[in-house]
C-alpha cells in the first residue's frame, strides 16, 4: 500500500513536469517571429513563459533534478538515468533563460548570443526527449491539462488608453487626442540608452520649450498679438505632447510651488525627478524621445506636417508599468527580445531629409509665405545628389555625426547598453546654430555645435585701388548660410586695417557699447517686412514682403566690397577679416531679459579669420 502511494506520488510529479515542459515549449515556440503571432497574445505568452519557468523551477524542477541525480549517482538506479539527462539539460535551459531575461540578448554580447542558442537547442532536445519518454496511455489527462494551460495564454492582458484627434498634427491611431499616460516619458529610455539620453538631455531639442526663454517670450508675444489660438502654430513643432493633449499653451516648468530655472539644468535633472514622483501622469513637454521616434509619416511642406502613432504599436508585458518592480520587469522583457522594440522606435524614414522638413520648413498659416526653408534650400543644393554617393549628404550626416578637431569623426561604440558595436552612432547633440542655450548646460554639446559652425565657410581677401574685396564661400552647410530663423541670426564680417605703425585706418562690423552691431556691418541674413514695407522685427508672423536676403546658398560665394581711403597711408597694411556669428542680436536678448533677467548675453563666435599684408 505504501509503495503504491509513493509510486502514485512520483507519477503525479512526473506528470506535472511533463505538462510544464510541454507548456514552456509551446509558449517558447510561438514566440518565433516566423509564426507571426499577434503581439497582444505574444506578450502574454512571454510573461507566462518567464514566470511559469521561475515558479515551476522552484516547485518541480529543482526537486526533480536533485532526486534523480541522487538516485543515479548515489543509489545507482538505472531507471533514473533519463531523469538525470533531462535534468542536466533543464539546468542549462533554465540558466540560459534567466540570463536572457535578466541581462538580455541585445546583439553586442557574444555571451548573450551563445545563451540564446543554448536555450533554443536545449529546449528542442528536451522536447524530443519528452516525446520519446512519454507513453501514450498516460497522455489523456496530460493533454487536457496542457490544453487548459495553453488556452490561458490567449488572454490579452494589455490595456490601452483611447484618445482622440487633433487638427494640425495627424494621428495614425484613429484618435482625436492623447492622454499624458500615452506619452512614454523619456526618463524610461535612459536605463538602456544612457549616452544617447545624456546627449539629448542637454540639447536644444529637449530644451525647446520652458528651458528656452526666447521661445517662451515669442510664443507669449504671438498670443498677445494674434490671439491665444495662434500658439498652436508654434506648439506643433516645439511642443507636440502639449498639442496632442489639448493644452492651450506651453507650460512653465515648476519646482514645487515655484518656477524652475531649467536654463542651466544639466542631464534632465527635473525630468528624472518628476518622473520618479509622478510617472507618465505628468506630461513631458517639448521634443521628447517618442515625439520623434513615434513619427510614422511626414510631408516636406513643414509646420508640423507629420503623423504620430503613440499607441498603435506592439507593447511588452509590464512596459507601461509605473511601479519599480513593473519597470524592471518591462525592461527585462524588452532586453530579452529587443527587435520588436527597435522596429517600434527606429524607421528608415528617420534618415530621410523629408522627416526633418516636417518642422524645419515653416510657412505662415494665413498667406503660405515661407518663413523657414531649410529643406527647400538643401533640396536645391549640390549636397542633394543621390546619383553620386560621395557627394550626397543628408541632414543627419552633418547634424547627427560626431565631430573631433573640426572634422566629422563618426563615433564608434554602442547606442544601447550591451548592444552591438556601431561604426557611426548618430549622436543626439542635434548640433546647429544655437550653440548658446545648450552651452549653458553642457560645454560638450556647445563645442559640437561650434565645431560644426566652423566647417561652414571660408574667407578670401584682396585689395586694389582703394577697394577691399572680401569673399565668403559656403563650403560646409547643405543649406543657406545662415538658415532657420535667419531673420534673427547674425553672421557678419568684422574688418580691421592697420598701417605699419599699428594705427587703425579702417574698421567695419564692430559692436556698439550697448552690444548691438554698428550700422556699417555687412550681415548675411533675411529681413522681413509688413505690407507697408516696414521691418517686422520680432513679429515675424506679420511678414508679407521680403525686404532683403543676403544669405549665402550652399556651395556659393558672396563678395563684399569696401571703399578704403588709402591716401597717405603708411605701408605695409595689415588687413584682418573675421567671419563672426551670434545666435541672437543684442536687441532681441535685451527684450527677453526683461522677462528672464537671469539670461546671459550670447557670445560672439569667430567662425573664421584671415590676416593678410598688402604692400603699396
Residue 238 located in a structural domain: no
Tell me the pLDDT band of 236, cut-offs 50, 70 and 90: very high
Q: How many domains does the chain have?
A: 2
Residue 440 located in a structural domain: no
pLDDT of residue 388: 94
Asked which of 152, 177, 211 is the last residue of a domain, the reply is: 152
Percent of the chain past pLDDT 90, that is, above it, reads 58
Residue 147 located in a structural domain: yes
Distance CA 294, CA 288 (A): 10
Q: pTM for the whole thing?
A: 0.81
pLDDT of residue 131: 65
Length of the chain as a residue count: 616
Asked which of 152, 181, 201 is the last residue of a domain, the reply is: 152
Tell me what the pLDDT averaged over the chain comes to: 84
pLDDT of residue 509: 98
Distance CA 103, CA 332 (A): 7
Instruction: State which residues form the domain around 545.
Output: 456-614
Is 496 in a helix, a strand, or coil? strand
Tell me the pLDDT band of 144, cut-offs 50, 70 and 90: very low
Distance CA 288, CA 280 (A): 12
Tell me the pLDDT band of 46, cut-offs 50, 70 and 90: confident
Lowest-pLDDT range, 26-35, 41-50, 251-260? 251-260
Tell me the pLDDT band of 450, cut-offs 50, 70 and 90: very high
Is 271 in a helix, a strand, or coil? helix
Q: What is the pLDDT of residues 4-17, one digit of tens each?
A: 444 444 555 566 66
pLDDT of residue 498: 96
Computed on alpha carbons and rounded to an integer, the radius of gyration of the chain in Å comes to 32
Asked which of 134, 152, 170 is the last residue of a domain, the reply is: 152
Q: What are phi and psi of 547, to 5 degrees?
A: -80, -35
Tell me the pLDDT band of 65, cut-offs 50, 70 and 90: low
pLDDT of residue 81: 60
Lowest-pLDDT range, 175-189, 192-206, 397-411, 470-484? 175-189
Q: What is the pLDDT of residues 472-529, one digit of tens each?
A: 999 999 999 999 999 999 999 999 999 999 999 999 999 999 999 999 999 999 999 9
Residue 506 located in a structural domain: yes
Percent of the chain past pLDDT 70, that is, above it, reads 80
How many Å from the N-terminal Cα to the C-terminal Cα in the chain?
A: 124
Lowest-pLDDT range, 83-97, 539-553, 579-593? 83-97
Lowest-pLDDT range, 5-14, 199-208, 304-313, 434-443? 5-14
Q: What is the pLDDT of residues 341-356, one digit of tens each?
A: 999 999 999 999 999 9
Tell me the mean pLDDT in the region 325-340. 88
CB-count burial class (<10 Å; 0-12, 13-18, 19+) for 312? middle
* Alpha-carbon distance values, 225 to 219, 221, 260, 587 (Å): 10, 6, 27, 19
Tell me the mean pLDDT in the region 22-29. 72
Tell me the mean pLDDT in the region 111-117. 75
Lowest-pLDDT range, 324-333, 367-376, 532-541? 324-333
Q: Residue 585 pLDDT more than 80?
A: yes
Residue 59 located in a structural domain: yes
Residue 171 located in a structural domain: no
Tell me the mean pLDDT in the region 583-605. 97
Tell me the pLDDT band of 471, cut-offs 50, 70 and 90: very high
pLDDT of residue 565: 86
Q: Residue 164 pLDDT more than 50?
A: no
Q: Which residue has the higher pLDDT, 442 or 100?
A: 442
pLDDT of residue 425: 97
Residue 196 located in a structural domain: no
Distance CA 486, CA 479 (A): 12
Lowest-pLDDT range, 91-105, 271-285, 382-396? 91-105
pLDDT of residue 60: 61
pLDDT of residue 162: 27
pLDDT of residue 442: 97
Residue 577 located in a structural domain: yes
CB-count burial class (<10 Å; 0-12, 13-18, 19+) for 410? middle
One DSSP character per residue, 377-388 reads: HHHTSTT--TT-
Q: Residue 159 pLDDT more than 60?
A: no
Of the candidates 306, 410, 308, the one whose C-alpha atom is nearest the C-alpha of residue 352 is: 306
Tell me the pLDDT band of 546, cut-offs 50, 70 and 90: very high
Beta-bridge partner residues of 609: 578
**Can the peptide bond before residue 482 be classed as cis, meaning omega within 30 degrees of 0?**
yes
Tell me the mean pLDDT in the region 106-121. 72
pLDDT of residue 6: 40
Amino acid at each position: 500500500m505504501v509503495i503504491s502511494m509513493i509510486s502514485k506520488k512520483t507519477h503525479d510529479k512526473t506528470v506535472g513536469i511533463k505538462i510544464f515542459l510541454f507548456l514552456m515549449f509551446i509558449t517558447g515556440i510561438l514566440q518565433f517571429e516566423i509564426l507571426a503571432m499577434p503581439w497582444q497574445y505574444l506578450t502574454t505568452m512571454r510573461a507566462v513563459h518567464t514566470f511559469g519557468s521561475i515558479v515551476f523551477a522552484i516547485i518541480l524542477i529543482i526537486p526533480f533534478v536533485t532526486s534523480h541525480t541522487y538516485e543515479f549517482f548515489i543509489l545507482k538506479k538505472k531507471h533514473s538515468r533519463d531523469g538525470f539527462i533531462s535534468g542536466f539539460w533543464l539546468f542549462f535551459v533554465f540558466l540560459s533563460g534567466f540570463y536572457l531575461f535578466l541581462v538580455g540578448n541585445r546583439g553586442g554580447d557574444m555571451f548573450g548570443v551563445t545563451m540564446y542558442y543554448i536555450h533554443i537547442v536545449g529546449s528542442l532536445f528536451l522536447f524530443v526527449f519528452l516525446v520519446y519518454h512519454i507513453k501514450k496511455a498516460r497522455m489523456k489527462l496530460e493533454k487536457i491539462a496542457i490544453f487548459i494551460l495553453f488556452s490561458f495564454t490567449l488572454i490579452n492582458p494589455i490595456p490601452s488608453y483611447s484618445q482622440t484627434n487633433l487638427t494640425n498634427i495627424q494621428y495614425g491611431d484613429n484618435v482625436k487626442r492623447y492622454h499624458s499616460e500615452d506619452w512614454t516619458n523619456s526618463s524610461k529610455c535612459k536605463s538602456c540608452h544612457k549616452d544617447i539620453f545624456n546627449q539629448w538631455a542637454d540639447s536644444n531639442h529637449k530644451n525647446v520649450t520652458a528651458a528656452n526663454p526666447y521661445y517662451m517670450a515669442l510664443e507669449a508675444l504671438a498670443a498677445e498679438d494674434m490671439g491665444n489660438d495662434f500658439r498652436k502654430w508654434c506648439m506643433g513643432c516645439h511642443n507636440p505632447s502639449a498639442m496632442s493633449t489639448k493644452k492651450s499653451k506651453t507650460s512653465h516648468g515648476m519646482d514645487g510651488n515655484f518656477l524652475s530655472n531649467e536654463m542651466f539644468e544639466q542631464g534632465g535633472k527635473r525630468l528624472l525627478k518628476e518622473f520618479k514622483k509622478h510617472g507618465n501622469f505628468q506630461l513631458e513637454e517639448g521634443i521628447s524621445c517618442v515625439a520623434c521616434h513615434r513619427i510614422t509619416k511626414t510631408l516636406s511642406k513643414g509646420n508640423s506636417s507629420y503623423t504620430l502613432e503613440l499607441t498603435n504599436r506592439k507593447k511588452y508585458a509590464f512596459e507601461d508599468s509605473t511601479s519599480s518592480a513593473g519597470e524592471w520587469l518591462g525592461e527585462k522583457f524588452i532586453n530579452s527580445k529587443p527587435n520588436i522594440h527597435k522596429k517600434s522606435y527606429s524607421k528608415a524614414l528617420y534618415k530621410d531629409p523629408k522627416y526633418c522638413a516636417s518642422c524645419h520648413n515653416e510657412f505662415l498659416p494665413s498667406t503660405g509665405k515661407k518663413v523657414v526653408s531649410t529643406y527647400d534650400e538643401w533640396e536645391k543644393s549640390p549636397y542633394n545628389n543621390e546619383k553620386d554617393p560621395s557627394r550626397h549628404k543628408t541632414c543627419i550626416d552633418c547634424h547627427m555625426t560626431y565631430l573631433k578637431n573640426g572634422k566629422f569623426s563618426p563615433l564608434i561604440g554602442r547606442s544601447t547598453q550591451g548592444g552591438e558595436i556601431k561604426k557611426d552612432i548618430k549622436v543626439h547633440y542635434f548640433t546647429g546654430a544655437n550653440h548658446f542655450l545648450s552651452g549653458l548646460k553642457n560645454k560638450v554639446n556647445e563645442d559640437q555645435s561650434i565645431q560644426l559652425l566652423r566647417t561652414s565657410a571660408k574667407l578670401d581677401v584682396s585689395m586694389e585701388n582703394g577697394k577691399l574685396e572680401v569673399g565668403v564661400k559656403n563650403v560646409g552647410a547643405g543649406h543657406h548660410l545662415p538658415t532657420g530663423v535667419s531673420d534673427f541670426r547674425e553672421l557678419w564680417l568684422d574688418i580691421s586695417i592697420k598701417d605699419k605703425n599699428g594705427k587703425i585706418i579702417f574698421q567695419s562690423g564692430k559692436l556698439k557699447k550697448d552690444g548691438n552691431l554698428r550700422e556699417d556691418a555687412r550681415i548675411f541674413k533675411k529681413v522681413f517686412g509688413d505690407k507697408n514695407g516696414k521691418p517686422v522685427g520680432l513679429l515675424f508672423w506679420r511678414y508679407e514682403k521680403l525686404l532683403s536676403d543676403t544669405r549665402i546658398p550652399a556651395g556659393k560665394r558672396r563678395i563684399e566690397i569696401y571703399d578704403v581711403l588709402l591716401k597717405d597711408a603708411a605701408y605695409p597694411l595689415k588687413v584682418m577679416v573675421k567671419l563672426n556669428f551670434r545666435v541672437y542680436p543684442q536687441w532681441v536678448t535685451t527684450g527677453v531679459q526683461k522677462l528672464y533677467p537671469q539670461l546671459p548675453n550670447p557670445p560672439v563666435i569667430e567662425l573664421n579669420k584671415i590676416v593678410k599684408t598688402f604692400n603699396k
